[in-house]
Amino acid sequence: MAVGVAEPYAVELAERTHKAVPGGTPDDGDVLAMLGRALADDLPCTGPIEPGDGRARVLAFVGPTGVGKTTTIAKVAARARILDGASVALVTVDTFRMAAIDQLARYADILECPLEVVKRPDDLPAALERLAGYDLVLVDTTGRNPRAADQVNALARFFPAGWGGEMVLTVACSTRLPDLFATVDAFARLRYDMVCVTKTDETDAPGTAYSVVRRAARPLAWLTDGQRVPEDIEDAEAAVLAARVVGEAAARVRLAG
């Protein structure tokens, strides 16, 4: 299944689908329907991320460089502000790149949100306490090389156990599966709570998102598919993603035939 589904998962899906198909000679539609159900069963999703009830809900976005964390934060913030009427605050601990601070500051100005710039791990708790009255606080972080343990460990110092928020591992769908799996494994030490898959428009392998969720054993929160803020983001839905994977697989079978 060359649509981004890692081989071990593809073999497992094929076996489960074969067992689930009723006796006789099933048509392609039956097989694809069974495959879609098997895919969806393996895709836990968070559902819409709701703002905090009485105290800020804090989400920190972590991941490698270049996956679109800052733009994704802007999309989530804009949707919360515009669609939900929530009060939103932004925080960045990415002081490594001035361009990242400037980019987030522009979004903060547009959305009329406060922005806290945190330079040291010890300063983050105080910043979050100052923003505790907001519905949603989104934290941007420095992109880290998953193959450089010292970089991931440096980021982890901002988020010790019990730091008070949730963590979103953000990865790009256009990345090779071996590199994605290395990222999932390397960032596990940060105890992330959910996954966001970006750049789904840059690949014809929608099964990559499925593979990431299987490897991470964490629910999928969002998929993003472009640069527009806030349009190019969607709450993850298992049935929708499964249908895309099945549709791409069916299209390739037709082309091969």
In a domain, 185, yes or no: yes
Element holding 2 (H helix, E strand):
none
Q: How far apart are the first and last CA of the chain?
A: 15
- pLDDT-derived band at 179, boundaries 50, 70, 90: very high
Report if residue 23 sits inside a domain.
Answer: no
Confidence at residue 7, expressed as pLDDT on a 0 to 100 scale = 94
The answer to whether 216 and 169 are in contact (CB under 8 A) is yes
Residue 130 inside a domain? The answer is yes
Please give the full DSSP string across 196-219, using - where no structure is assigned: EEE-GGG-S-THHHHHHHHHHTS-
Kindly report the pTM of this predicted structure.
0.93
Q: What is the pLDDT of residue 141?
A: 96
Question: From CA 76, how far away is CA 208, in angstroms rounded?
Answer: 22
Closest of 188, 235, 202 to residue 72, by C-alpha: 235
- The SS3 of residue 47 is coil
Task: Please tell me the distance from the alpha carbon of residue 2 to that of residue 22, in angstroms, as a whole number.
Answer: 25
Two tokens at 17?
Answer: 């689908």
Domain assignment present for 18: no
> Is residue 223 situated within a structural domain?
yes
Identity of the residue numbered 174:
S
At 247 the pLDDT is 87
- Name the amino acid, one letter, at 128: L
Bridge partners for 171 per DSSP? 197
**122 — pLDDT class (breaks 50, 70, 90):** very high
Does some domain include residue 29? no
Q: Within a 10 A sphere around the Cβ of 21, how many other Cβ atoms? A: 16
- At 252 the pLDDT is 59
Residue 6 falls within a domain, yes or no?
A: no
Identify the domain containing residue 206 by its residue range.
57-246
Edge-to-edge order in the sheet of strand 115-117: 115-117, 88-92, 136-140, 57-62, 166-172, 194-198, 220-224, 233-235
Which two three-digit tokens encode residue 111?
A: 């959305």
Nearest to 46 by CA among 227, 213, 246: 213
Tokens found for residue 253: 């079978």
Instruction: Report which secondary-structure segment, H or E, holds 73.
Output: helix 69-82
Provide the CATH number for the domain around residue 219.
Answer: 3.40.50.300
Q: How much is the pLDDT for 250? A: 77
| 102 in a structural domain | yes
- pLDDT above 70 as % of the chain: 94
Q: Which candidate, 68, 154, 79, 145, places its Cα nearest to that of 111?
A: 79
Based on the structure, what is the number of domains in the chain?
A: 1
